[in-house]
Structure 1
């Protein structure tokens, strides 16, 4: 019968001590309570001088603890009070404390002599005889231990058994009530969370309804501007408007979907062309993507947000501008994309704020934080972006995507 709980945690020790003291007063016997290992968990009640002296030595205490552990286990196996003789030959009774079929400990009482000699000593030892020779007063203490009729011992252990059963039932009821209270609190929190999610869903649905209307409106405006550029003979402006239209169309089309790395890179090049038109020779870029990973599907906009950060916070503030290098390859079971710039870099403190979502006033920085949260939730915590940066040298962002995960996604979507 294995132990799966702590007696101190499951039963009120103050109540146990009070019950033990009252029983000791009523019966005149010694009482103590031990855990399932035989170790006392509270103060002794009415111990005789002989037993106090025996437990005052290391070997004597060890003998008593081992005897209690053995007797408690015997009582637990029988699920009844177990009467035995301790190594000193005194009669003790172990009443098991069993809760939910788990043996937690036992209440012991006795330290007496009785007229019934049928009980064997639970553990033979010559330690007592050695102690008698060393300490003559110990023999006197032993001789003064009172005799008690065995029928009275039986009556007492019947009473103790009733008390223990009542105590266990009370503790079980308390445990059930605690579980009920915990489940009620958990249910209330779950209901609150559900209401919160329902509100968020309503807001999201509203945004999704508004998105097509907003995009149609934006496309109409862009078409008007494009026609105006054509009338005014401004081909470069018209080209930028077409590129911007492609960018918006790509973004809107892939909301909530996965895209291939090849599609994402094509969209990124469109974005980089727009930025190159804006910054001229100050912004340069190089793209080197392994053909083997171009058909692998990933979440859209992840790479674009990193590149946006590199341009806005890395290269744009630098007077002479710089270069973004985008490289993609396979490493073991992952597709690796590195985005490296030679911009102004990020300080340790700023990087800490970004990675912990504390740059509230900086939308682009929050995008980096959100990317990490999305990657961790979608692929696992080990797939967060690895960002290395040095001030006035540049920043490298390393992203990885699990091939096995994406291959499964590809199969399910083909």
Structure 2
């Protein structure tokens, strides 16, 4: 739970940012917490305001005024311009991180023409009762700078940009903390599993591997994705997002039937990762009759075949490859043609025995795909063809009842 600014922003860094803004804009600047208390040292404060704050009562009134305008800005979620208890024009921009108001950037301490002040709220307090020399106070007042209304509004907008920058710094810091915490948890989980590997047999270990909390993995991936977004690492964000979708998909029951459109969606996430890995050397074209998108097929029917094309048709040479998927209805059956223009297979036969190996990603090979289709629909269905095309490449054809 975020409590205050100091938890997520380096105050020294904040001080430097504040001083740069004050020097560039020619105004006094101060950053306060949610109660109006300063968290930085004042930058370019006027002699008038320093003199007011030199007595305890004056400082108390200034903090109350800062607290008021900061909360007004938080309510509007925009910069607010007002007159402080001394009549000077100040402006504030809220610092709101993950819907929590943590403070504000305050600047100003200037005068503008009276006719431009009518719309500005004012906190009236009597300065005559402050234990200050009124002549000295007047001398400081006469030294105050005047700015026109348009200049004041421009500075207020730039102040809002600066406040948002601070929020981004804070969010990046919190995301890094969350990622670090999740990484520590992951390392501890890996250490514990490493110890189990020394004590348990291979088959026992496979059972235990399925007990890793999937929610923890998804939370970690979400944190990495958010950090990549903050750092503008678009490819990292996309790959992390795709991997999370694949993990969630893989937790389903292997015997489950799912709509064809979900299998296609999963296939696109898988291909997105491969395209990033191989710098878009792999392309995929999907042609499917619209009325078939809701037809239910076994989960992981297409991905192992596409992966087979990549492993055997592309990785051995690294030459660009296009994988084409055609899905259509014909003679009371649905036909899936998965074709590639890769290396191809050594023989050309519709009766080639299906390889019994497992896929790299899911441990599901072509033989497994064929068996699960037969289990769901009957022995006459499954992989009908596995052959080299006339020129180059491979065709895998599936038949499923329509």
Shorter-chain TM-score tier = 0.3 to 0.5
Q: Which has the larger radius of gyration?
A: 1
